[in-house]
């Protein structure tokens, strides 16, 4: 946790955190903060700054909240991500958020098991918790927007043009693909398939919508590793 | 598992895998292979190819092993990685291996908790298992070499010149750092600190050994995400 985030309505001249609040646990047990210490804070959707620890005990209180900095600029990358296994989803969402991606579209694909769509990990409260973890890691405050698309065809045929707009459209694919471009100046829409990749028909549908197939080296990467490597390359 | 790996001494005209062998479970339960199907195989440290499934039941047997391809070329990146939390170590080693890194030096740093060095996850058998998981993911056969360095000073003062040689020396650091270079042509030695980063004195020691401090954007990333993003940028 590189920043402690609050809802706007929690911010007051002094903030009291209940002992069970994970932020209180962080301040007390991880930072081992003492009265008078400064901690980095931010408002979800707003500014960053710092606050002074007033009291650490069974509860924690902060005072002198100063919000004097803007969050880092968003990364101009829109992600179209085939729904990963529930076990992997949390890590991927937190990781992608930490990289600064603000638009995440989770989509279906032939190789996504139907049961994944019933996972409680897709509930808004869980997705929000993972995004917050990513923001707290990165030192950011702006939550990404996450949209779920249950049907691949509907997304690609009816919605993808509105989502991708004028951005450079790329789909990560291990075969018949060019090397991923470096340091792209403008916005990018990046599609990443499930384990095992998009099937040929899906790649063709995406190509028909002006997505270029790209890869990063000759190796097949896990979704998490691929997203970070591609974003590192493109951004 | 995008390739099923064998020790050279396991390779014969026909290969029989015990029911409890995780490779047999993969062929039977994940691939749901039938007799006559081809599976991708490789020899650890050697070539890649394919084999034909002869029998799938309580055990699995393969025949007609053909090794007709070289593994992908190694990534010319040497990693100096501050020992992560044991919980994170396995994932980082597998991820770094899947990216094609072949030289991993795990080092101490001020912010590495001493207890981490006693973790059973540092035993050679566990490190090898994580490397194999990375190779199986990537479709590669060449195990990385992993060296443990218990003392930061000793490593930086006496060993780092031999390790880094003529390569471009970079240290990932969130403050007072330039943007990480893109698409570096030659070999790179990349140092990555612990959670919370290297302390200033450590950064100074590395700068004295010609390491340039670099960052990738304004956000603080987890080790796993940072390694993949930096390797994606550099390679």
> pLDDT (tens digit, 9 = 90+) per residue, A80-98?
999 999 989 999 999 999 9
- Residues of B with a Cβ under 8 Å from any A Cβ are 2, 72-73, 75, 95, 98-100, 137-140, 182-183, 216-222, 224-226, 228-233, 235
pLDDT value, residue A156: 96
- With CA atoms as reference, the chain A residue closest to B216 would be A232
Stretch A178-207: mean pLDDT, rounded?
94
Q: Determine, for residues B137 and A221 on separate chains, whether the beta-carbon distance falls below 8 Å.
A: yes
CB-CB under 8 Å, B219 with A140: yes
Tell me yes or no: is domain B4-69 CATH 2.40.240.20. yes
pLDDT over 90 (residue A176): no
Q: Show the beta-strand stretches assigned E in A108-172.
A: 145-149, 168-172
Going from the C-alpha of A36 to that of each of A13, A31, A50, A64, the distances in angstroms are: 16, 13, 12, 10
Residue B11: band (very low, low, confident or very high) from pLDDT cuts 50, 70, 90: confident
B139 closest CB neighbour out of A100, A219, A232: A219
Partner-chain residue, chosen from A2, A219, A235, that has the shortest CB–CB distance to B98: A219
Closest of A123, A113, A144, A114 to residue A44, by C-alpha: A144
**Span of A105-109, A177-181, B130-134, B144-148 with lowest mean pLDDT:** A177-181
Q: Compute the average pLDDT of residues A61-66.
A: 94
Instruction: Tell me if A167 sits within 8 A of A211, measured CB to CB.
Output: no
Q: Which chain B residues have a beta carbon less than 8 Å from that of A232?
A: 216, 228-233
Q: What is the DSSP letter of B167?
A: S
At B1 the pLDDT is 87
User: Class for domain A75-234, per CATH?
Assistant: alpha beta
Average pLDDT taken over every residue of chain B = 95
Answer yes or no: is pLDDT of B49 > 90: yes
Mean pLDDT to the nearest integer, A203-232: 94
**What 3-state DSSP class applies to A117?**
helix
What's the mean pLDDT in B99-111?
97
Q: Which two tokens stand for residue A66?
A: 């100063």
Domains A4-69 and A75-234 equal at CATH topology level: no
The SS3 assignment for A173 reads coil
Mean pLDDT of chain A, nearest integer: 95
Secondary-structure percent of chain A, ordered helix, strand, coil, rounded to 5: 35, 30, 35
Secondary structure of residue A225 in the 3-state scheme? helix
Query: What pLDDT does residue A12 have?
Result: 81
Write the DSSP string, A12-41. Answer: SSEEEE-TTSHHHHIIIIIS---TT-EEEE
pLDDT tens, B173-230? 988 889 899 989 999 999 999 988 999 999 999 999 999 999 988 999 999 999 999 9
Q: Which residues of A touch B233 (CB under 8 A)?
A: 182, 232-233
The pLDDT confidence band at residue B12, using thresholds 50, 70 and 90, is confident
Q: Between A and B, how many CB-CB pairs are < 8 A?
A: 104
Burial (CB < 10 A; 0-12, 13-18, 19+), residue B176, is: exposed
The confidence score (pLDDT) of residue B61 equals 94
Q: What is the pTM of this model?
A: 0.92
DSSP label at residue B196: T
Q: What is the pLDDT of residue A175?
A: 83
Q: Closest CB to B98: pick one of A100, A137, A225.
A: A225
Q: What pLDDT does residue A1 have? A: 87
pLDDT above 90: residue A11: no
pLDDT over threshold 90, residue A13: no
Domain boundaries, chain B: 4-69, 75-234
* C-beta pairs of A156-159 under 8 Å, 24+ apart in sequence: A156/A202, A156/A205, A156/A206, A156/A209, A157/A205
């Amino acid at each position: 946790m590189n920043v402690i985030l609050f809802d706007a309505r929690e911010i007051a001249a002094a903030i009291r955190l209940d002992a069970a609040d994970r932020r209180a646990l962080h301040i007390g047990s991880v930072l081992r903060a003492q009265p008078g210490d400064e901690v980095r804070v931010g408002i979800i959707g707003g500014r960053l700054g710092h606050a002074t620890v007033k009291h650490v005990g069974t509860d924690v209180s902060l005072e002198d909240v100063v919000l004097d900095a803007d969050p880092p600029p968003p990364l101009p990358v829109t992600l179209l991500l085939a729904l990963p296994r529930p076990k992997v989803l949390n890590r991927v969402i937190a990781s992608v958020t930490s990289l600064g991606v603000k638009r995440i579209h989770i989509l279906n694909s032939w190789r996504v098991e139907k049961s994944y769509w019933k996972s409680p990990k897709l509930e808004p409260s869980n997705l929000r918790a993972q995004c917050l973890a990513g923001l707290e890691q990165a030192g950011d405050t702006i939550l990404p927007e996450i949209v779920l698309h249950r049907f691949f065809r509907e997304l690609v045929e009816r919605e993808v043009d509105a989502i991708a707009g004028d951005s450079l459209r790329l789909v990560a694919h291990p075969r018949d693909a060019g090397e991923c471009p470096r340091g792209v100046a403008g916005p990018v829409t990046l599609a990443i398939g499930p384990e095992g990749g998009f099937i040929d028909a899906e790649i063709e549908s995406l190509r028909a919508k002006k997505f270029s197939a790209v890869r990063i080296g000759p190796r097949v990467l896990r979704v998490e590793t691929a997203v970070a490597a591609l974003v590192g390359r493109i951004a």
